[in-house]
A and B are shown apart, each in its own frame.
Chain A
Amino acid sequence: MSDVTTDTVQLPAAASGASAPRYADAVRYAAPWIAVAVAFAVLPMIFSSGSALTTLSLMGIMIVFALSYNMLLGETGLLSFGHAVYYGLGGFLAIHAMNTVIHDHLPLPLFLIPLVGAFSGLLFGIIFGSVSTRRAGVAFAMISLGLGELVASSSLILRGFFGGEEGVSTNRTKLLHVFGLNFGPQIQVYYLIAFWCLVCMIAMFAIRRTPFGRMCNAVRENAERAQFVGYNPQVVRFMAFALAGLFAGVAGALAAINFELVNSSMVGAEPSGLVLLAAFVGGIGNFIGPVIGAIIVTWLEVTLSDMTDIWQLYFGLLFIGVVMFAPSGIAGLLMMHVPLWRARAYRPLSRLVLTYLIALVPALATLAGLIAVIEMIYHRSVKASDGATISLFHVTLDTTSVVPWIAAIVLLIGGFLLFRRTWPVVGAAWHDAIMYAQGAGKKK
């Protein structure tokens, strides 16, 4: 699922040979998606505890949300700080729909509720998009911020719709039961989310490859030039915005089903910032980037706060780190290696991976030292009254004695210096691999 398009010119083939290449093509296109579907189906059997299922469900929701955000940022170049508005409004409309269905005994199964979210996202995407997409760039970002704040604040005024502080709650088991599924157990909810996640992923991937998707890319690169070609950038942006809203609404509906509770925090700055982080850390230039980012950020969100009180600091540092050193995100870093793989430069590639592993060791040491220093400073300055010792990575450290401090600083500085020493090694291996790949290419 890379960004590189291969232009294959299909000449009309003889009847006998036509079916074989098309069949192979179909398998090639479908195979990754089938693999994903199988993975979704099998994951809960590996990770079967209650909180693992909840985490997987959250990841599914976040994947849809982050991919929808990437339609704006990665595809069309629109940086939005208020995308959670469509996510949250999708959730609200979905939960009101669920309550109406329950109240009036309508024959609508829970399974189809994400469509309500889609409708809501599209509706509000069109309404707000018509004013937001008149401008691009920083002005657009500011409008999105302002709109986001407006909707978030008005959630406390329009109490009927937003349910005030407590939000709106529902009971997902009270909808029509189909095939004996009441969606009480989390595993059933997981499969519902996984299904819709797959559908949305396929849909967004497909949109990406349509001419419309390509025009979005064009508008992102050079709006003026796109105008010369004959497309109105504003219309393109508007359509992209509405579609992004649609999928964000689906994500919101899935969240409403998962938590059976929607409140005004879902339209606010927090989820907007989180989806931005997820998309960016994963990589906005690739389809798979937001997926990776969503998985990582969800995992961090769930587990990091158990390990440390200052998880927000680590989020911020992660964000800055990615912006400064890897602005193409994790997916971007991975995709850099694709040309090597395609050129079948396996041996240089494996040597490269080996150098990565060698460089990883001092990198981890530096990281451990940094974390230790930060945690100890935090403990000394804020929580000194809790006692002198903290437990880090299952190691007990006494913050009042000098030893852990020295050890941490040594790890930090020594690790960093060692890490720097490995850079030329990695660089040389990379250079070799590239040379090999280019040479192999030339041979062909």
Chain B
Amino acid sequence: MISRFTTAFCALAAFVVVALPAAAEDSVKIAYVDPLSGGGASIGEVGLKTFQYLADSVNANGGVVGHKLEIVAYDNKLNAQETLLQVQKAIDSGVRFITQGNGSAFAAAIEDFVTKYNERNPGKEVLFFNYAAVDPVLTNDKCSYWHFRWDANSDIKMAALTNYMKTRSNVKKVYLINQDYSFGQSVRKGAREMLGAKRPDVEIVGDEVHPLLKVTDFSPYIAKIKASGADSVITGNWGQDFALLLKAAADAGLQVDWYTYYAGGTGGPTAIKQANLADRVYQISEGLPNEPYAPAQEFEKAFRAKTGVSLFYPRAVNEIGMFVKAAKEANSVDPVKVAAKLDGMKFTVDNGGEGFMRTDDHQFFQPMYIANLGPLDKNQPFEEEGTGWGWKVTGKIDAQDTLLPTSCKMNRPS
């Protein structure tokens, strides 16, 4: 037993310094680089489960052009340098496709790294599939041919949200509250611009930013919202910033409509239910389980049964689906060929409806949905987090209506 342990220890030591030969020749690997420990782990684990489920179902259907699809997890510890380190490790162990989503700062680091790496190592290119980092700059000023984004960026989401708000006559005074970092700033700038253009009669009575994930007591902010007389609040807050904000609102008895990006994240529906805000919290997303589209609902049911969580990333379904399709069309898993096929690809998305990957900036455009959380009726089977409430679609925007111009000037390989 001791010798087995010592050999195991030696093996572990050797693991560090000797690049392990790639696992079975017939598997294609996607590295999943997101937080798997510490504060961001609860979000990172949900994403990992989603991708592993998708890989399993792809493999059950014959794999990717005959290769087995394998998801390899790397913990980025919510640190940009660590992210780059893990990407380097992934590349060393033979991975050619990186996927990441939690944190636009890390996505920017990966995009930059991948672009430089591909430039410096022709013939060994890797691709970066971004499934959730929504900073618009990643498909504008900092765009790259080797980066593909499946999540509508925050400007697109704001465009869709404001299109919906345009039709709501009860919106007269809007308060903006966001986290003070690039995403929060893009939410508030987008909201001011687009709301100003579409509903000039709406008054923006407050524009607040607070430090990211540091505020424990939101009651002063709630007091300000109340004092402003707002009837609607637009916020990009997520995680504990959203949960605590809603808690403070519930405590103070604030009755407003909430237009959000990430109310559906872990802890969100619970906070909404506790605050008793039925049908008042709206979320913009690219897919919802209660949308009457049978294949999506079947998928959701099977997904929840296996993993125990709701499908928070329909875009991951689109990502893997399009990857498999591109590989099939190229009849290869070579990144350069796959990238060429993904460029401009049209795809039927998870919730029905047509989407496409724009060649100019590698941003995927898809139908968007506005939904609110509340009690369900009997043909809406999916509830959230054991609250008994679920997301109900109140508005749908087609892909064509979500298009926005881009400033991207991509260096395309010849």
- Interface-forming stretch among B82-90, B267-275, B335-343? B82-90
Query: What is the bound-complex CA distance between A309 and B16, given in angstroms?
Result: 17
Contacts of A393 in B (CB 8 A): 4-5, 8-9, 12
Query: What is the bound-complex CA distance between A395 and B8, given in angstroms?
Result: 9
Q: Does B378 touch A at the CB level, under 8 Å? A: no
User: Contact at B75–A49, with CB atoms within 8 Å?
Assistant: no
Q: Which residue of B lies closest to A310 (CB)?
A: B37
Count residues on chain A whose CB falls below 8 Å from chain B CBs. Answer: 46
Contacts of A259 in B (CB 8 A): 80-81, 84
Query: Contact partner of B2 among A165, A255, A365, CB < 8 A?
Result: A365
Which B89-103 residues have a C-beta within 8 angstroms of A?
89, 91-93
Query: What is the bound-complex CA distance between A430 and B54, given in angstroms?
Result: 60
Known A52-B17, A305-B37, A309-B41; judge A261-B81 contact (CB<8 A). yes
Q: Which residue of B lies closest to A308 (CB)?
A: B37
Query: What is the bound-complex CA distance between A260 and B182, given in angstroms?
Result: 20
Which A296-316 residues have a C-beta within 8 angstroms of B?
299, 302-303, 305-307, 309-312
User: Contact at B307–A385, with CB atoms within 8 Å?
Assistant: yes
- Interface-forming stretch among B105-113, B148-156, B194-202, B384-392? B105-113
Q: How far is the CB of A92 from chain B (nearest CB, A)?
A: 13
Which A162-185 residues have a C-beta within 8 angstroms of B?
164-167, 169, 171, 173, 184-185
User: Contact at B19–A49, with CB atoms within 8 Å?
Assistant: yes
Contact pattern, A 137-171, Cβ under 8 Å of B = 1, otherwise 0: 00000000000000001001000000011110101
Query: Contact partner of B37 among A50, A266, A312, A394, CB < 8 A?
Result: A312
Contacts of A167 in B (CB 8 A): 80, 105, 109
Query: What is the bound-complex CA distance between A165 and B183, given in angstroms?
Result: 9
Query: What is the bound-complex CA distance between A309 and B77, given in angstroms?
Result: 10
Query: What is the bound-complex CA distance between A166 and B81, given in angstroms?
Result: 11
Contacts of B81 in A (CB 8 A): 255, 259, 261, 263, 265-266
Known A153-B211, A167-B105, A364-B6; judge A261-B85 contact (CB<8 A). no
Q: Which residue of B lies closest to A392 (CB)?
A: B8
Query: What is the bound-complex CA distance between A307 and B81, given in angstroms?
Result: 19
Q: Which residue of A lies closest to B1 (CB)?
A: A365
User: Contact at A51–B79, with CB atoms within 8 Å?
Assistant: no
Known A166-B182, A311-B37; judge A261-B84 contact (CB<8 A). yes
Q: How far is the CB of B14 from chain A (nearest CB, A)?
A: 10
Chain A contact surface mostly = helix
User: Contact at B36–A364, with CB atoms within 8 Å?
Assistant: no
User: Contact at B109–A166, with CB atoms within 8 Å?
Assistant: yes
Query: Contact partner of A173 among B75, B120, B135, CB < 8 A?
Result: B120
Query: What is the bound-complex CA distance between A165 and B1, given in angstroms?
Result: 49
Q: How far is the CB of A166 from chain B (nearest CB, A)?
A: 5
Contacts of B92 in A (CB 8 A): 49-51
User: Contact at A50–B88, with CB atoms within 8 Å?
Assistant: yes
User: Contact at B79–A265, with CB atoms within 8 Å?
Assistant: yes
Q: Does A47 touch B at the CB level, under 8 Å? A: yes
Query: What is the bound-complex CA distance between A338 and B236, given in angstroms?
Result: 61
Q: Does B293 touch A at the CB level, under 8 Å? A: no
Query: What is the bound-complex CA distance between A393 and B5, given in angstroms?
Result: 7
Which of the listed residues B116, B135, B211 has the most CB atoms from chain A within 10 Å of its own CB?
B116
Q: Does A328 touch B at the CB level, under 8 Å? A: no
Q: Does A267 touch B at the CB level, under 8 Å? A: no
Query: Contact partner of A307 among B12, B91, B108, CB < 8 A?
Result: B12
Query: What is the bound-complex CA distance between A385 and B6, given in angstroms?
Result: 31
Contact pattern, B 317-343, Cβ under 8 Å of A = 1, otherwise 0: 000000000000000000000000000
Contacts of B135 in A (CB 8 A): 166
Query: Contact partner of A368 among B5, B16, B212, CB < 8 A?
Result: B5
Q: How far is the CB of B253 from chain A (nearest CB, A)?
A: 32
Contacts of A368 in B (CB 8 A): 5
User: Contact at A164–B182, with CB atoms within 8 Å?
Assistant: yes
User: Contact at A299–B16, with CB atoms within 8 Å?
Assistant: yes
Q: Which residue of B lies closest to A311 (CB)?
A: B37
User: Contact at A312–B38, with CB atoms within 8 Å?
Assistant: yes
Which B198-230 residues have a C-beta within 8 angstroms of A?
211-212
Known A50-B19, A312-B37, A385-B308; judge A305-B180 contact (CB<8 A). no
Query: What is the bound-complex CA distance between A187 and B77, given in angstroms?
Result: 26
Q: Which residue of A lies closest to B181 (CB)?
A: A165
User: Contact at A309–B105, with CB atoms within 8 Å?
Assistant: no
Query: What is the bound-complex CA distance between A312 and B104, given in angstroms?
Result: 24
Q: Which residue of A lies closest to B37 (CB)?
A: A309
Contacts of A55 in B (CB 8 A): 16
Query: Contact partner of A171 among B8, B93, B116, B211, CB < 8 A?
Result: B116
Q: How far is the CB of B318 from chain A (nearest CB, A)?
A: 25
User: Contact at B182–A303, with CB atoms within 8 Å?
Assistant: no
Q: Which residue of B lies closest to A54 (CB)?
A: B88
Contacts of A263 in B (CB 8 A): 80-81, 105
Q: How far is the CB of B234 from chain A (nearest CB, A)?
A: 20
Contacts of A312 in B (CB 8 A): 37-38
Query: What is the bound-complex CA distance between A246 and B223, given in angstroms?
Result: 47
Query: What is the bound-complex CA distance between A361 and B9, given in angstroms?
Result: 13
Q: How far is the CB of A240 from chain B (nearest CB, A)?
A: 28
Q: Does A270 touch B at the CB level, under 8 Å? A: yes
Query: Contact partner of A394 among B6, B8, B91, B307, CB < 8 A?
Result: B8
Q: Does A85 touch B at the CB level, under 8 Å? A: no
User: Contact at B79–A270, with CB atoms within 8 Å?
Assistant: yes
Contacts of B38 in A (CB 8 A): 312
Query: What is the bound-complex CA distance between A261 and B112, given in angstroms?
Result: 9
Contacts of B36 in A (CB 8 A): 305, 309
Known A165-B181, A305-B37, A365-B5; judge A54-B85 contact (CB<8 A). yes
Q: Does A58 touch B at the CB level, under 8 Å? A: yes
User: Contact at B15–A303, with CB atoms within 8 Å?
Assistant: yes
Q: How far is the CB of B100 from chain A (nearest CB, A)?
A: 14
Q: Which residue of A lies closest to B16 (CB)?
A: A303
Contact pattern, A 40-76, Cβ under 8 Å of B = 1, otherwise 0: 0000001101111011001000000000000000000
Known A302-B85, A393-B5; judge A49-B17 contact (CB<8 A). yes
Contacts of B9 in A (CB 8 A): 364, 393
Please report A residues at the B interface, Cβ cutoff 8 Å: 46-47, 49-52, 54-55, 58, 153, 156, 164-167, 169, 171, 173, 184-185, 255, 259-261, 263, 265-266, 270, 299, 302-303, 305-307, 309-312, 361, 364-365, 368, 385, 393-395
Could you jot down 9 A-B contacts, CB within 8 Å? A47-B18, A49-B17, A54-B89, A167-B80, A299-B16, A305-B37, A306-B89, A310-B37, A393-B8
Shortest Cβ-Cβ A-B pairs, 10 listed: A49-B19, A393-B8, A50-B92, A165-B105, A51-B92, A47-B17, A184-B120, A166-B108, A165-B181, A305-B75
